[in-house]
Homo-oligomer: A and B are copies of this chain.
Amino acid sequence: MSIWLEESHTPGYRVLWKINEILWREQTKYQELMVVDTLEFGRALVLDGAVQTTERDEFIYHEMISHVALNSHPNPRQVLIIGGGDGGTLREVLRHPGIERVDMVEIDQRVVELSKQYLPTIASGFDDPRAHVHFEDGVRFVKESKKRYDLIIVDSSDPVGPAVELFGLDFYRDAFGVLTADGIMVAQAESPIYYKAYLQKVWRNIKSTFPIGYVYLASIPTYVSGFWSFVIGSKCHDPRSVRGDKPSLFGLKYYTEEVHRASFVIPPFVLGVLDEA
């Protein structure tokens, strides 16, 4: 017998993952949540049928959504993560010894609970005293926040279901207001091949909100097409290079300072996607 998880991306492209076992499956208040043990990618978190993260290659996404912004800012101390319920982004942010406090706002408490239970190598930062988790709507949290942050990381799921508003312009404007005078915001922005309209939307949001905006890329096998984009907005620091005297981060598997710089090199066809935005 064999069990396959079918992930349907677009009308014409699907991926099949062979799984050893379905470890958990429930309908939460917000989405269908599954944790599966795959044959080749270790355990995977699946939300509304889309694979969010796998033990085997989660490091690429989590390192790249965190360290580029953290190392572009000379001294980030207060960080806000929107989404990121599996804890991988939190784990990466906490590697930086200068971090004083991380607020993480995840709408779905069950994602955090089940990640702690089934994905402990990813969800390893929740017990850190600097980590503060809020089970709330990220859009409202940002709108109402009185605190100011050096860095906001938008680690959202795809722009269907609970994450839709995180791709809206209002959210970007509110995020700008919550950042310190030299703050930086970064968001995952989907595949420029399969979901180019979303990249274009996030790119328009950043460009109309921040004085400095760039796109950078990473190659993430788990996500459809592998070719993944991030959009970064900054009030004054140029995010394309590493700032200040950064501590060496040991144990990273994808991010280096050279990878940081190279990730901002954008092929012409992706520039074309951005120009159309």
Query: A182 within 8 Å of B by Cβ?
Result: no
Within 8 A of B (CB), among A1-48: 4, 6, 10-18, 38-41
Q: Which residues of B contact A14 (CB under 8 A)?
A: 4, 15-16, 18
Partner of A12, one of B18, B194, B265, B272: B18
Contact with B along A231-273 (1 / 0, CB 8 A): 0000000000000000000001111101101100101110010
Q: Which residues of B contact A57 (CB under 8 A)?
A: 193
Give complex CA distance A211, B17 in Å. Answer: 41
Contact A15 B13 (CB under 8 A): yes
Q: Copy number in this complex? A: 2
Q: Which residue of B lies closest to A253 (CB)?
A: B269
Give complex CA distance A57, B220 in Å. Answer: 17
Contact B227 A254 (CB under 8 A): no
Give complex CA distance A268, B6 in Å. Answer: 31
Number of interface residues of A (CB under 8 A): 41
Query: A225 within 8 Å of B by Cβ?
Result: yes
Q: Which residues of B contact A119 (CB under 8 A)?
A: none
Partner of A267, one of B18, B225, B259: B259
Partner of A268, one of B16, B38, B194, B252: B252
Contact A39 B12 (CB under 8 A): yes
Of the listed residues A38, A57, A60, A221, the one surrounded by the most CB atoms of chain B closer than 10 A to its CB is A221
Q: Which residues of B contact A40 (CB under 8 A)?
A: 10-13
Indicate whether A38 sits within 8 Å of B17 (C-beta atoms), given known contacts A217-B219, A225-B221, A268-B254.
no
Give complex CA distance A217, B60 in Å. Answer: 15
Query: A226 within 8 Å of B by Cβ?
Result: yes
Q: Which residues of B contact A18 (CB under 8 A)?
A: 11-14
Indicate whether A258 sits within 8 Å of B268 (C-beta atoms), given known contacts A15-B14, A221-B225.
no
Give complex CA distance A255, B16 in Å. Answer: 31
Q: Which residue of B lies closest to A38 (CB)?
A: B12
Contact A256 B227 (CB under 8 A): no
Q: Which residues of B contact A15 (CB under 8 A)?
A: 13-16
Q: Which residue of B lies closest to A268 (CB)?
A: B253
Q: Which residues of B contact A253 (CB under 8 A)?
A: 267-269, 272
Give complex CA distance A184, B55 in Å. Answer: 38
Give complex CA distance A237, B185 in Å. Answer: 41
Give complex CA distance A256, B262 in Å. Answer: 13
Q: List 12 A-B contacts (CB under 8 A).
A: A12-B17, A12-B40, A12-B41, A14-B15, A14-B18, A15-B16, A219-B227, A253-B267, A253-B268, A253-B272, A254-B267, A256-B265
Knowing that A13-B17, A60-B267, A254-B267 are A-B contacts, what are 4 other residue pairs whose CB atoms are under 8 Å apart, sorted by A's residue number? A14-B16, A221-B227, A256-B267, A259-B265
